[in-house]
Structure 1
Amino acid sequence: MNTFRFKKAKSTLVGLAVSVILGTAGCTSDTSESGQTNTQSQEQPAYLNTSLPMQERVKDLVSRMTLEEKIAQMYNDAPAIERLNVPAYDYWNEALHGVARAGNATVFPQAIGLAAMWDKELLHEIATVISDEGRAKHHYFKSAGITTRYTGLTYWSPNINIFRDPRWGRGQETYGEDPFLTGELGVEFITGLQGDDDTYLKSAATAKHFAVHNGPEITRHSDNYVVSDKDLYETYLPAFEKAVVEADVEAVMCAYNRVNDLPACGSDMLLKEILRGKYQFDGHVMSDCGAIADFYDPKAHDVTRAPAAAAAWAVTSGTDLNCGTGRLSSYANLNFAVQKGLISEALIDQAVERLFMTRFKLGMFDPDEQVGYASHSMDEVGSSEHLALTQKATERSLVLLKNNGVLPLKKDVKVAVIGPNADNRDVLLGNYNAQPINPVTVLDGIEQYLGEEAVTSAPGSALIADVYGHWQVLDSNVLFHTNALGEREAGARVEYFNVATLPITDFTNVHTNAEIVGDAKATETRSSLELYREVSPITNKVLDDFGMVISGELVPETSGNYRFDGEGEITIDGEVVTGPVALTAGQSYQFSVTKVFATDQLTNTDHRMRAKWQLSWLNTSEALVENAKAAAKDADVIVMAVGISPRIEGEEMPVKLEGFNYGDRSSIDLPAEQSALIKEMEALGKPVVLVNFSGSAMALNWEQDNVDAIVQAFYPGEATGTALARILWGEVSPSGRLPVTFYHNLDGFAAFDDYDMTNRTYRYFNGDVLYPFGYGLSYANFSYSGLNAPQELSAGSDLALSFTLKNDGEMDAEQVSQLYVSMPDAPVDTPKVALKGFTRTAVNAGESTQVSMVVPADELVYINDKGDKVPYKGALHLSVGNGQPQFAADQEVVKTVITLL
């Protein structure tokens, strides 16, 4: 646990010159809760006095607000209170594996890949870097007066739900299926984000989604998950307990679903009894976005008819902040709820004080020069040090699942890089991602490592159906324009315009519309239709609105039916493009794109921050398999980049395809197109190295039996290609381990919405598995010996042990040692084995080292049927080694039995 808690911290900083940060506080007349009018003197208000305790300052500020002002501060996009010099603030920001959706930032492996590192120290370092970049971005936007979504310091990360079922599309956001691994990693990520200052938070982390939340996506707004007390406290809550008790997480997000009949955001059991009662949480709670509207939506939970009642219910249970998104804010009804006696103003005060306590801890009401974290600058974002760190993380996250000796590859080989993910940036990123600084695909990385002359490539297939991974940005190879001299030049002409906001006329789909007005104010030529303009080309202001018109000639190099992918209205020869277009090689087509970049005032969002604008295309007439065979003809080895992508698995997606169900999966097999492609490549008789990209487990059964090597990549970050090449060619030994079980199939699985843990995850699954939780191969051979552990231990005591780890191989490498226990003498059912410790150790070839581990007493317990922790007594079966004891070779594990008295 941290050595301090903010509820006890007092600021001892010197007094503040009010005009520095919030303007001069003059004489104001404020209405109190009682309706009386108080005249403030010219003296500095208490909430700006940094010598006072933060809690006192917060109470002073909230006491000056009217009821309407307080309620408005309970929306995620809280408006300014100008008379109190309170700036507008949007709590919604994301930092799952990098500062997300706020323009360029270093993109680390997706959370499931970070878990595959099994490396607490490195994850803490990564979270520290993320918060460094987040601080830099926040102060950059603040200096420009920008308060839109994704510019704040309240990050809605990490996702510490348990990935209990491989069908869940958002499992990629988690640290896997094990409560211990998830909890340990969550603590490191949270403390890295929040910093170690005694007064200020570096950023505010959010543990989500509380609780019992992991699919299905399509029914999450209406589902009621019934769980036993034992499953609740044994599986679904331990990571949240660590996040609060050990990491002092600042915020918690409640989930969409109901838990034992009550909406999670209106559950006294979850929010009052457990979170604020047992765990003593003292931060703020926010709803998942739109979750309060689910209370009264007839198509969702439909547990109350009145929005005002839903709002009062949620606040009374302890949900302080309403994320409303497209459903706007249910908490706008709180004024009516107060009028009708559904809720007291005192409870609203409590919620608002919690919210402002977070903002005060972040230093938002103190001068920047008094907040050390405010010194981070934009030159840190995507720095060489940060890019080197994400490469290191990727190298440690890649899991070698099979190797018949083909790896590592020789450097003088010719390689065919085949597959729909070979040159697909999407699979580098996962969801909730930033715009990468230097994205390196598999093809990029191998070409850079070997040289382009040694590499051929082809996509070989679609990802699935008509979903492709090999889109290419239109560039000066096919785009031309006529310059001012009447000469034909490569590239497209781009004109920039002012825009005007249009009045809202369609109230069935409310969003801000804008249109281009007037003449072009700036012009340029672009060689590629990919751009990120955070600063308006017209006004030179950050995130100022503008319109863009691209024009020129499009001259395809190959005939075929082309699809286009990108935002904006596209015309070819004056016709608006709405689907595939037949184009002839060498023929010139008049081409234009019109796109408006504007902030949506209703959602407080500017979409240009989420991703670079680009216009891509692909030829759907291409003979994909034949071209792949041709590319592989003269190769010595075939590296195949296959799998799925965040375009077809993720959060509540409009995707309904064979094996995919609105973001979730109904099958864990590879799509048929890719399975067929792999078999075609294997039939060529050349070594095949398979690299699988997915945020979830895949049933690689045929592949395990037939290809030469398999690497599980998950979604490994912007340095993917560079890191993968170093692994494949033996610059570094693979050391990642699976944070989830890879099953043969879904036979025998309970319904997706059945939250009983029977026969789920490695702790309870009774069937045969393809690759077990904790599995991963190395280029080195490690052996374990000399386990030193007590024969007896008093229940309630920590368990200390040590062992010898030797690298018997010829390559320096890192090894993840995993400690598992089982408790056969417990009076209730317990997991077959359960992870209770892990460590990563670097050992040079031929050398050995002593490794020490400690299992805290709080982990040597079982959960009874009431959900209570009970210190275990009896024979404790313990193993330390290269994975679960039943899967590790004899020399790869040491075991003992300890009697707990």
Structure 2
Amino acid sequence: MSHCKPWKWSLSFIFILSFLFTSTISTNQELQFPCKPPQHNSYPFCDTSLPIQARAESLVSFLTLEEKIKQLSDNASSILRLGIPAYEWWSESLHGIAKNGPGINFNGTISSATSFPQVILTTASFNRSLWRSIASAIAVEARAMYNVGQAGLTFWAPNVNIFRDPRWGRGQETPGEDPMVASVYAVEYVRGFQGGSVLASAHADTDKSILTSDDDDAELMLSACCKHVTAYDLEDWGSFTRYNFNAVITNQDFEDTYQPPFRSCVEQGKASCLMCSYNAVNGIPACAREDLLQRTRVEWGFKGYIASDCDAVATIYEYQKYSRSPEDAVADALGAGMDINCGTYLLRHTQSALEQGKVQEKDIDRALVNLFSVLIRLGLFDGDPKKGKFGKLGPKDVCTLKHRELALEAAKEGIVLLKNNDKFLPLAKRSISSLAIIGPLANQTELGGGYTGIPCEPRSIVDGMQRYVKKTTYASGCVDVSCATKAGFSEALSVAKESELVVIVVGLDLSQETEDHDRRSLLLPGYQTDLVNSIASVSKKPVILVLTGGGPLDVSFAKEDPRIASILWIGYPGETGGKALAEILFGDHNPGGRLPVTWYPESFTKVPMSDMNMRADTSRGYPGRTYRFYTGERVYGFGYGLSYSKFSYKLLSAPPTTLSLLSTGSTELDSFSKRARRSAYGINHVQIDDMKHYCDSLRFPFEILVTNNGEMEGGHVVMLFSGSPKVLERSGRSPEKQLIGFERIETVPYVGVKVRMMVDPCEDLSIVNEDGKRVLALGNHSLMIMQQYGEDFELRHIVSIIL
């Protein structure tokens, strides 16, 4: 979702409508909620005994054409004669209730909400249960805000696009570069947010059946929206903007990289909303691609509504030049399967599109049934929401101690230790007489990144350090993050010289990477590198370097410099980030975060950001993208992250060294195997579609014992990878390695922890061919564990499986 829009007057119009809506609701108590007795509860759509679809169709049948059109905007108009109030669809909840979007306001009883770490840092924890717990906590606060009239029930999060290019300004909002990780995150967020599992334990009288149901028509606590379908990962680069960009994607990349998170979001997460993106996909704007949008319903079983990104319908005509008129753009979007337009384009052009015969009323009815079905599932047409299952939630449930502790835990689990020469960290408590904190972000409390609300109790990094060292001195060094001058260097050098120990905080903020703004360089902005080197040259001891921001940075200079003892990446850690960092530096928490993205060298900026190909192409000097296909040098690799402890692995349950496709004894599968086709790579394979009924019989457990060989307890992430037959790897069309499983465990010194993962060959050992079909190659497959050796990581071969 976007709050930066190409038509600013249109955005203003939305907010004017929102203001009028809020004013109307506050002065007209009769329209607080639909189906209010005694005047408006006798309609069939208020009958809770009827199926959701029937209720939605009934409601649409009562509407005039003019009323229908006024429901096609994010700011849906009231229908006075039916007792239906206006409704604002646009609220945001990426990593806490955000200020973006007119559906949220902090000017009432609730003036703040818990600010969790930005998604990219939370993902670095590789902790599924943490991801779901955060989503559930956000849901509790969102529903509480709805109950006091400060939020809607439909939220446009999560962002599960792949972080394909390190320069992307919105990569910070995503779960990273790996499609499997992004898929898992999508499922956990949606299930936690729509079902509110935290609420089940917090309120014993809550009907828990609604919190765990897999039914697409089940009641919802809130509605989550997976965005942006699809291949959206460019804001402003060269002559391209997100509004005019045409993402040219191969069938292979489409199926094995760009689409998996959205498919999982629907099939496993049961998301009630999808959002189509600004960009075109292979020449057709995403919001006008019928094959793209209808596939979600026909193949994936999606039951929900499809929203456009804000003014994305307008871009079909105005920027993409795909349609010949505004009316054609409306017809293209509605015909493709989009249901609601964030913006006013449909409000202004649908009537004329109808008059010109380009839109049929049945297309509008279909869209409205999808929209009202979600609102009915949310209980909006069941009477007074305050008397419902979630009516007890209110201000007492926002910014709770439990939620702030969860935010702290998320920051601590996500922070990544990138360098720790000679075990410089953790620092000894009470042994440091004076500490200098230097950097333009060190004393800032706004460390949440994009889509942040108003935090409950924001604290800076300086605040966090002062809990451990009373004599803590601060100097900014740079006026701001862009660090365009060296005006503050002298003060910083003076402070550094006088202190026993120095922590330098540099990196990125929203002036460098954000919506509508991509980076041009992977280096530290401005004179930040000079600041670090200058401080390191005068410090009494080696310095500690702390990096902020969501995008990868080329800090090769610091990686190799012995004057810089330790490097930590803290992303955008949210309101508890200062405390989290201090606890790690002083040994109250053992770092265990892992990078969810590859950190590339500055030379990668020569690669056109507009090139959507994932796989390397040596014929044109193209190095590929992400850990799965990139062939160049790395500053730090995907999955990199040190700990204060060392861990060893022991295989407990060896998988079979040979898996026969005939093991089921099925004559039908025997037939599939005998007609396994020979691919262009010179290797036999079987299409997964031919095997889908037999995949379960091929699954096997993988079990290892992980032992913490250090003196500190702490979390540890186990990462299991698969490798394809070598002939496929050499072709460059198959990933060299592919993450197929991960598990975060808690360990204590010298005690082993069993980790068990199930391996599904059809999913985990298969690849996508050039036709976009998933196939299982016959031959020698590898299972590998990522293991630390010194301060480097390598994939340790565990076992080979012959298919």
Q: TM (normalized to structure 2)?
A: 0.83
For 1:747-826, what aligned pairs fall within 5 Å after superposition?
747=604, 749-758=606-615, 759-788=624-653, 789-794=655-660, 796=695, 797-824=698-725
Q: 1:794 to 1:159 in 2, by over 3 A?
A: farther
What SS does the aligned partner of 1:708 have? strand
Match of 1:437 among 456, 459, 462: 456
Please state if 1:126 is matched with 2:134. yes
- CA change 1:135–1:883 in 2 (3 A) is farther
252, 257, 260: which is aligned to 1:230?
252
TM-superposed deviation, 1:163 = 0.5
Provide the rounded CA distance (Å) in 2 between the counterparts of 1:723 and 1:255: 35
Measured in 2, the distance between the counterparts of 1:675 and 1:748 equals 18
Aligned pairs for 1:825-864 (under 5 A) are: 829-856=733-760, 857-864=762-769
Q: Matches of 1:96 and 1:738 in 2, distance apart?
A: 20
Contact 1:826 1:862 in 2 (8 A): no
Supply the distance in 1 between the matched residues of 2:390 and 2:69 (Cα, whole angstroms): 30
**1:111-122 residue pairs with structure 2 within 5 A?**
111-122=119-130
Query: Which structure has more helix as a fraction of its residues?
Result: 2
Structure 2 CA distance for aligned equivalents of residues 375 and 54 of structure 1: 25
Residues of 2 paired with 1:19 and 1:152: CA distance? 13
SS at match of 1:876: strand
Partner of 1:895: 798
Say whether 1:307 aligns with 2:326. yes
Identity of aligned residues (%): 36
Contact preservation (8 Å) 2:479, 2:487: no
**Partner letter of residue 799 of structure 1?**
F
Separation in 1, partners of 2:594, 2:703: 22
**Partner of residue 415, structure 2:** 398
Which stretches in structure 2 are left out of the alignment for 5+ residues?
1-29, 107-111, 196-209, 616-623, 662-694
CA shift in 2, pair 1:897/1:60, >3 Å: same
The worse-fitting range, judged by mean Cα deviation, of 870-879 and 125-134 is: 870-879
Determine if the alignment matches structure 1 residue 675 to structure 2 residue 532.
no
Query: 1:231 and 1:18, CA in 2 relative to 1: closer, same or farther beyond 3 A?
Result: closer
1:86 alignment partner in structure 2: 84
Q: Which residue of 2 aligns with 1:140?
A: 148
AA at the equivalent of 2:474: S
Cα deviation digits, residues 425-477 of structure 1 (max 9, x gap): 23x110101111111111111112323xx21110011345577xxxxxxxxxx
- Superposed displacement of residue 392, structure 1: 0.4
Write out aligned runs for 1:154-303 (5 A). 154-195=154-195, 196-197=210-211, 198=213, 199-217=218-236, 219-272=241-294, 274-297=295-318, 300-303=319-322
**1:269 positional shift:** 2.0
What's the counterpart of residue 338 of structure 1? 354
Q: CA deviation at 1:886?
A: 13
Secondary structure in 1 matching 2:454:
coil
Cα distance between partner residues in 2 of 1:884 and 1:868: 37
- Structure 2 counterpart of 1:718, from 565, 572, 575: 575
Displacement of 1:672 after TM fit? 3.2
CA contact (8 A) 1:818 1:880 kept: yes
**Counterparts of 2:790 and 2:378 in 1: how far apart (Å)?**
45
Structure 1 regions of 5+ residues with no counterpart? 1-16, 27-41, 468-619, 653-662
Residues of 2 paired with 1:675 and 1:646: CA distance? 19
1:63 is matched by which residue type in structure 2?
S
Note the C-alpha offset of 1:848.
Answer: 1.0
Q: Partners of 1:280 and 1:341 in 2: how far apart?
A: 30
- For residues 884 and 352 of structure 1, the distance between their equivalents in structure 2, rounded to whole angstroms, comes to 57
- Would you say the 8 A contact 2:766–2:776 is kept in 1? yes
Give, in whole Å, the separation in 2 of the partners of 1:170 and 1:824.
35
Contact 2:413 2:591 in 1 (8 A): yes
The alignment partner of 1:790 has SS state of coil
- Equivalent AA in structure 2 for residue 766 of structure 1: T
Q: CA deviation at 1:744?
A: 2.0
* Matched letter for residue 381 of structure 1: V
- How far, CA to CA, are the matches of 2:789 and 2:261 in structure 1? 21
The aligned residue for residue 548 of structure 2 is 693
Give CA-to-partner distance per residue, 1:340-365, whole Å, 9 cap, x none. 21121111100001001111111111
Q: CA deviation at 1:873?
A: 2.8
Q: Residues 444 and 312 of structure 1: is their aligned pair in 2 closer, same or farther, counting only changes over 3 Å?
A: same
Once residues 154 and 495 of structure 2 are traced to their aligned partners in structure 1, the CA distance between those partners, rounded to angstroms, is 48
Aligned pair in 2 of structure 1 residues 395, 623: CA closer, same or farther (>3 Å)?
same
**Which stretch shows the higher mean deviation, 115-124 or 679-688?**
679-688
The SS at the match of 1:396 is helix
Which residue in the other structure is 1:483 paired with? none
Offset at 1:794? 4.5
Whichever residue aligns with residue 179 of structure 2, its letter is P
What's the secondary structure of 1:792's corresponding residue?
coil
| Cα distance in 1 between the residues matched to 2:41 and 2:187 | 43
The equivalences for 1:471-620 within 5 A come to none
* Counterpart secondary structure, 1:93: coil
Per-residue Cα deviation, 1:44-72 (whole angstroms, up to 9, x for no partner): 21111111112111111110001111111
Q: For the Cα contact (< 8 Å) 2:788–2:794, is it kept in 1?
A: no
Secondary structure of the 2:574 match is coil
CA contact (8 A) 1:160 1:175 kept: yes
Relative distance call for 1:809 and 1:732 in structure 2 (3 A) is: same
State how 1:344-355 maps to structure 2 within 5 Å: 344-355=360-371
C-alpha distance in structure 1 between counterparts of 2:791 and 2:568, whole Å = 23
Deviation of 1:748 after TM superposition, in Å, equals 7.5
What is the letter of the counterpart of residue 303 of structure 2? D
The whole-number CA distance in structure 2 between the counterparts of 1:360 and 1:697 is 43
Letter in 2 for 1:709: S
Return closer, same or farther for 1:881/1:623 CA change in 2, 3 Å cut-off: closer
Return the alpha-carbon distance in structure 2 between the equivalents of residues 105 and 882 of structure 1.
Answer: 39
CA deviations on 1:826-881 (whole Å, 9 max, x unpaired) are: 76721010101000111111111221111334333211111111234321111124
* 1:769-815 deviation line (CA, Å, top 9, x unaligned): 11100000000110111252221235532231101111111111111
2:601 corresponds to? 744
Q: CA deviation at 1:745?
A: 1.9
Higher fraction of strand: 1
Q: What amino acid maps onto 2:307 in structure 1?
A: M
Contact 1:257 1:263 survives alignment (8 Å):
yes
Provide the aligned C-alpha RMSD in A: 2.2
Is contact 1:130-1:193 (8 Å) kept? Answer: yes
What is the 5 A alignment of 1:41-80? 44-80=42-78
Residues of 2 paired with 1:51 and 1:128: CA distance? 28
Name the SS for the 1:364 alignment partner. Answer: coil
Report if the CA contact (8 A) 1:114-1:397 is conserved.
Answer: yes
Distance 1:839 1:631, change over 3 A: same
Deviation (angstroms), 1:369: 5.7
Aligned residues: 687
Specify whether residues 748 and 82 from structure 1 end up closer, same or farther in structure 2 by C-alpha distance, changes over 3 A only. Answer: closer
* Aligned equivalent of 1:684: 538
Counterpart among 433, 436, 446 of residue 416 in structure 1? 436
Q: Distance in 1 between matches of 2:775 and 2:221?
A: 37
- What are the superposed Cα offsets for residues 361-385 of structure 1, whole Å, 9 maximum, x if unpaired? 1111113266313332211110111
Q: Is the 8 A contact 2:34 2:85 kept in 1?
A: no
CA contact (8 A) 1:418 1:638 kept: yes
* Distance in 2 between residues matched to 1:369 and 1:724, nearest whole Å: 40
Amino acid at match of 1:636: E
Seen in structure 2, the aligned counterparts of structure 1 residues 339 and 296 have a Cα distance that, compared at 3 Å, is: same
Post-superposition Cα deviations, 1:551-581, rounded to whole Å, max 9, x if no partner, equal xxxxxxxxxxxxxxxxxxxxxxxxxxxxxxx
- Cα deviation for residue 339 of structure 1 reads 1.8
Paired amino acid for 1:357: S
**Structure 2 CA distance, aligned partners of 1:790 and 1:393?**
37
Deviation at 1:331, TM superposition (A): 4.2
Q: Is the 8 A contact 1:462 1:674 kept in 2?
A: no
